[in-house]
Amino acid sequence: MQVRRIVRHALLIAMFSAQAAQAGTLVIESWRVDDKTLWEKVLLPAFEKNNPGIEVKFAPTAPTEYDSSLAARLAGGTAGDLIACRPFDVSLSLYKKGHLDKLDGKPGMQNFPATSTVAWQTDDGKDTFCMPVASVIHGFLYNKKIFKKLNLQPPKTVDEFFAVLEALKKGGVSPLALGTADQWESSQMVYTNIGPNFWRGEEGRKALIAGKAKLTDAPFVEALQFEQRMGTYLGKGASAQTYGDSQNQFALGRAAIYPTGSWDISYFAQTPGLELGAFPPPVRKAGDPCFISDHMDIGIGINKKSRNKEDAYKFLAWVGSQEFADIYTNRVTGFFSLSNHLISVRDPVAKQMAEWRGSCASTIRFNAQVLNRGQPSMESELWNVNAQVLNGKLAPKDAATKLQNGFAKWYKPQQK
């Protein structure tokens, strides 16, 4: 009997220990595979230092597989406690299906302005389901050595931009590191990068949602015309050139300007001898107000079925802290905190891009909110159409008509 009691006691201790271990461990779901080392070596130790007993595991999934595999794990009850949130509709769908907690009023949320939470709210703005983490800023990177050699200055207006491209071409340098094989760059790194200066950022974006503007209106066509002109400065093999090819071309100094987003800064920072500079999308005329695509990229939410909500909310509060914002902004170079905390950005190029927020109005990719919900998919259409415009295969007005017709097929405010 004594032996049985001892065995039973040991089993109870083991059972409670297992439960405690489970309760004290948090798992973070994410698509940011590239950040795994940073989370494991820097971010998580910083949290665990002041929260002993809470173990956190960063468990990323490849970006292309993240949405589908996360949805399957959430449905099956095997997902992690904390969920990295895509902006707008992907995460909104998870919330509507009951997979994410409502976060309004939770500790840490008070550190974010209302404008930064839009990407993780219901359409009526009443429920917020992810804490904003960071945005990426779009613009152009340039090779300072090449510009200095040809005595060129970063352009500020459309005319100056094309004058620089022409000077580079005449100087025997490939003006642009840009291809269209992957298509997405044509939309996200060109059209929705340069476009806000034509459609006046949020003004144009919201007018499309309200049905008060059409993609065939002058500002949207003018952005396509700008893109068409850019296409004449691409290399001969541009239609077969991938994103990776363009990165390599620019890193090796074989092209002078790289249309991109701030996420690429860290990639080029690894290239010895490459002197980087950045300039914002050119305005139409000197003195015009400027607009930048300051796109909300990543948030973090809590799995409604998390078995360790108390610790998950402690971690979430830390994500909303000054300490997290500072580490994330300065270690995940090119991803900028969306919080109210004053952050000193240390990387010179990232700092330069962050400072554009002080002189230009921020907007997001115009199709990110609401406009991707129907068929044909606005995102897919933008990829294909913009690639064709850059390749000289589709005229700007025809491109605008194709986009508008696809949009009006399913979006009622555009059917007036």
Tokens of residue 254, six digits: 């074989």
Measured distance CA(381)–CA(263) in Å, rounded: 24
For residue 346, count other CB atoms closer than 10 A to its CB: 12
Please, are residues 389 and 222 in contact by the beta-carbon 8 Å criterion?
A: no
What count of Cα atoms within 13 Å lies in the side-chain half-sphere of residue 244?
Answer: 0
Measured distance CA(194)–CA(354) in Å, rounded: 17
* Longest CA pairwise span in the chain (Å): 95
Using CA atoms, how far residue 175 sits from 159, 162, 187, in Å, is 15, 10, 19
Measured distance CA(332)–CA(162) in Å, rounded: 32
Using only C-alpha atoms, the chain has a radius of gyration, in whole angstroms, of 24
Domain parsing of the chain, residue ranges:
26-135+296-351, 137-294+363-414
- 137-294+363-414 CATH fold: D-Maltodextrin-Binding Protein; domain 2 (3.40.190)
Q: Is the pLDDT score of 6 beyond 60?
A: no
Q: Is the pLDDT score of 283 beyond 60?
A: yes
Instruction: pLDDT band for 410, please (50, 70, 90 cuts).
Output: very high
Please, are residues 258 and 141 in contact by the beta-carbon 8 Å criterion?
A: yes
Instruction: pLDDT band for 24, please (50, 70, 90 cuts).
Output: low
Q: Is the pLDDT score of 13 beyond 70?
A: no
Instruction: pLDDT band for 8, please (50, 70, 90 cuts).
Output: very low
Say what the pLDDT of residue 7 is: 38
The per-residue pLDDT for range 113-131, each reduced to its tens digit, is: 988 999 999 999 999 999 9
Say what the pLDDT of residue 115 is: 86
Please, are residues 27 and 57 in contact by the beta-carbon 8 Å criterion?
A: yes
pTM value is 0.87
Q: What residues contact 61, with CB distance under 8 A and at least 6 apart? A: 29, 30, 31, 33, 69, 70
Measured distance CA(168)–CA(176) in Å, rounded: 9
Q: 55-60 and 131-143: which strand pairing?
A: unpaired
Task: Indicate the range of 17-31, 189-203, 261-275 predicted with least confidence.
Answer: 17-31
Please, are residues 184 and 260 in contact by the beta-carbon 8 Å criterion?
A: no
- 26-135+296-351 CATH fold: D-Maltodextrin-Binding Protein; domain 2 (3.40.190)
Q: Is the pLDDT score of 2 beyond 50?
A: no
Say what the pLDDT of residue 128 is: 98
The per-residue pLDDT for range 351-380, each reduced to its tens digit, is: 999 999 999 999 999 999 999 999 999 999
Domains 26-135+296-351 and 137-294+363-414 are alike in CATH topology: yes
For the residues of 256-289, what is the DSSP string, one character each? EEEEEEGGGHHHHHTSTT--EEEEPPPBSSTT--
Please, are residues 82 and 300 in contact by the beta-carbon 8 Å criterion?
A: yes
Measured distance CA(142)–CA(109) in Å, rounded: 37
Please, which residues bridge with residue 365 across strands?
none
> Which residue, 353, 317, 338, 324, is CA-closest to 119?
338
What count of Cα atoms within 13 Å lies in the side-chain half-sphere of residue 62?
Answer: 2
Task: Indicate the range of 34-38, 215-219, 289-293 predicted with least confidence.
Answer: 34-38
> Which residue, 217, 195, 209, is CA-closest to 291?
195
Mean predicted lDDT score pLDDT of the chain: 93
Written as one letter, the residue type at 252 is L
